[in-house]
Every structure is written in C-alpha cells, then in structure tokens.
Amino acid sequence: MKLAAVSHLASPAAPTGAERSLAHLFGALAERGHETAVAVPGRWCLEERVRQSGVEVVEIASRPCWLVQWGRQPAWKQALRLLRCVAPDPGRRRMMVWLDRYWPEAVYVNCLPQLKGAAAARALGLPVVWHIREILPPGRRRRWFARRLHRDARRIVAVSHAVAGWLADEGLSDRVTVIHNGCAEPPKLPAPAAARAKLDLPRAGVLVGFFAQIVSHKGVFDLVKAGSRAMAEDPSLGVVIAGAGPELGGLRTAIADSLHPDRFFLLPPSPEVWDLLAAVDMVAVPSRWPDPLPRTVMEAMAAARPVVAYDTGGVAEMVVEGETGFMVASGDEHGFAERILRLAGDADLRLRFGSAAARRAQADFSLTTHVDRMERVLTEAAAG
C-alpha cells in the first residue's frame, strides 16, 4: 500500500510515547514493502532513524489542537488554544497540497491534536484511520472532539480499552478497534554496572527509574515525595529521572528541598531507553491523570524490570498486580513508597516480577503482533 501519516510533535528534543510508537509502526510497515511517508510540523528528533527505515519525512507546519488534556486548565489558556486552532492556518492548505500530490491509499492520523490533517484528508476523499491515544473526561470538549471523529474517521484505533470506553460513550464504538502498542524486543542489555558507569550513576544501591515528560500530571513530583519517604528508611535507594519538559525548573527546586537531594539523579531525555532501563532496578509510573497506555511500562516489562504505578487509565491492561509489579491508587504517595521499599529490599522478588513481565511483554505486546493488526486495519480502510 501507499500510506501517509500526519502527527503532532510535543518536543523537538524529547519524543513522546506516541511519536515513538509512530516511528516503530511506519518503520516496520516500510520494511514490509509499503510505501510510507510521515508529515510532522517541525524538526523531529526521530527523523533520521525513521528515514533509515525507508520512510519519507516531510515538514508541514500546521497548528495542532492542544485541548486534549484530562484535567482542567485556566479558562484563558483553553480559550487561547482554541483560538489558535480555529484561526486561519496556511498549514492546512499545505497539508492538502501534499496529500493531493502523494495520494496515499489511506491516511493515518496520530493522536487527537491533528484535527487539520484529518480534515484535509477527508476533504480530498481519502480514508482516515485515526489512532486515539488520549482519554477525555465527559463534557462539551469531549463531544466536540467526538463530532470531528464522526465526521473525518473511517476507522478509529484505540490504544487501550480505557480509551475505547469514552469513544463508545460518544457513539463511536461501531468503528473502534482496540490495538495495544507493540514493543520491539530489546537488544542484549549491558550489565547494570556498565550501564550505570556510562550514565555516571552510582554503582551500588537500588535505583528507581522515571522516564517521561517533566510535567506534573506524569506524577514526577509525587515520585520526589514518595522517593524521599522511601529513602528515609533505605538510604542506599536512588531515583533516576530522565526527561524534559516545562516543569523541569520546579522539579529541580523540589529535589533541592527534599531530605535526600543527593539521591536524585537528573538525566537528559533519550530516544533510546534501553541503557536507562539497564541501569535501574525498577520503573516508577505515578501518572496522576488517566494514562491511556504508557509506553514506559511496556518497555520496562520488555527489559524485565518490575513496575510500580498508579492504577490509572490503561496501566492495568499491562501490569499484573503482584505478578509483574505493583499498582496503588492515584495520589497514594505513602503506598507508592511502601511498594518501592518492598521491591528494593527483595532482589528475588524483583527478579521474579521482572521475568514474568518480560514473558508477558513478549506474549501480549510484541511489535510484530501490533504491526500485523494495524496493517489489517489500514488495508480494510483503504479497501472501503
């Protein structure tokens, strides 16, 4: 097939899980012989890797609609984002010109913010497969997005059953297919000591990893509190935070004000997560908002690392409580610290959970299975 993808970019330096999932999917489709192209609104840090897989990458500076967060935000910010989206945007016209020239058999829209890419494809009569990776609360905003999905999407892929739930509530279940993300089998990981030396991390002690955007709804400030509580009982414990985001300055302040600032280690984001995972003993995912299907959980599982997470969104579709990791209620910092301490104090438990997680990742979240299912949906959409 000849396939086009349109996607937003959250950051030029730190790709989100959605962007990395797109890179894996279209790279794999290109390797299977499909002709593929991806349109992004700016410089993409994954561009070179995607091109090496045989995917064409074009830059079309259209404005995404950033009204997809779960929690409330100030009215002025919401109004500004809406005005920015609905204002005349030459990017939509450029998108239509590109799609008209390329003329794919199906257009894959990555995430809700790319309203204009979906609208451009629909205006040209091209079938749209819209991949939804967001969870929206009930209300006018959700209904507004649902109307656009009704209008523009021939098929909808929900990244988790948690996402499919709100789509069904808005009357879209007849065109929704749930397809979990897939994770490539990790390369042979370096020994923990070697990975820590490469990243300039302490050789001794148990390290907890947090690999996500530095924004409050990802729970990084909860982790600082829970980590400090756990460190009070186990001074050898450390927390590794790798990421970037608008609240990095506030995170530095929170760490400086904690009881054990020397046991927190800040690293820049990395498109390749395997060295980071090799260096840590467990992964923390304290997302405060419903997280549709956090990729960091899947990659931790593939690397045989147990996960401690808040039970939000699609996390329970990956983590098996008491078997591959622990889940606690969102906001329960005390419970989060207790689960970290339990894993930190029992190497055999970490090994058992990690082995079970790796088996589950290989059986249920393989990249091959994911691409097979996505390829089938795209083929069906193209066939009409």
Q: For residue 235, how many other CB atoms are within 10 A of its CB? A: 11
Q: State residue 373's pLDDT score.
A: 98
**Consecutive H or E run containing 77:** helix 75-86
What per-residue confidence (pLDDT) applies to 96?
A: 95
Half-sphere exposure of 286 (CA within 13 A, CB side): 27
pLDDT at residue 174, rounded to an integer: 95
Sign of torsion over alpha carbons 167, 169, 174, 178:
positive
DSSP single-letter state for residue 271 = S
Backbone φ and ψ for 251, nearest 5 degrees, come out as -65, -45
Span between the terminal Cα atoms of the chain, in Å:
14
Q: DSSP label at 10? A: S
Residue 132: phi and psi, rounded to 5, are -100, 125
Q: What is the pLDDT of residue 270?
A: 79
Weakly modelled stretches of the chain, pLDDT under 70: 11-13
**What local confidence, expressed as pLDDT, does residue 13 receive?**
65
DSSP 8-class letter at 322: T
Round to whole Å and give the CA distance between 201 and 211: 15
In terms of C-beta distances under 8 Å and separation of at least 24 residues, what long-range contacts does 126-129 make, across chains too? Answer: 126/99, 127/154, 127/155, 127/381, 127/382, 127/384, 128/152, 128/153, 128/154, 128/155, 128/381, 129/153, 129/154, 129/155, 129/156, 129/157, 129/377, 129/378, 129/381
Name 5's bridge partners: 38, 108
Residue partners of 88: CB distance under 8 A and separation at least 6: none
φ, ψ for residue 47 (rounded to 5)? -60, -45
Rounded Cα distance, 260 and 276, in Å: 22
* Residue 328 DSSP label: E
Q: Which amino acid is at 332?
A: D
Backbone phi, psi, residue 149, to 5°: -65, -45
